[in-house]
Amino acid sequence: MIRRYRLHEVNRRLESGVAFDWSRLAAELGYADQAHFTRDFRAMIREPPTQYAQRYPLREPPRDHGAVTTL
């Protein structure tokens, strides 16, 4: 159940069109680190988060001085 919530939150962020930091999102969702998030995401979706995110166009430039972490 918690995994589904976490993936729903990832989709919500992607749909917003605002760039975000993947490692910060992983921490906010309760993952120990970004690698754990990526493994969990790939296990459920069958592709890495950044590849999945390409389906969603960005409508706002990245915050935090343009630094967006890629996986």
Contact 3, 44 (CB under 8 A): yes
Domain definitions of the chain by residue range? 2-53
User: Can you give the pTM of this predicted structure?
Assistant: 0.75
- CA-to-CA dists, residue 60 to 14, 16, 19, 22, 24, angstroms: 11, 9, 7, 16, 18
pLDDT > 70? residue 68: no
The fold adopted by the segment(s) 2-53 is Arc Repressor Mutant, subunit A (1.10.10)
Instruction: Tell me the per-residue pLDDT of 21-46, one tens digit each, with 9 for 90 and over.
Output: 999 999 999 999 999 999 999 999 99
Contact 9, 29 (CB under 8 A): yes
What percent of the chain is modeled with pLDDT above 70? 83
pLDDT band at 2 (very low <50, low <70, confident <90, very high): confident
pLDDT computed for residue 31 by the predictor:
95
Helices then strands, counting H and E runs in the chain, come out as 4, 0
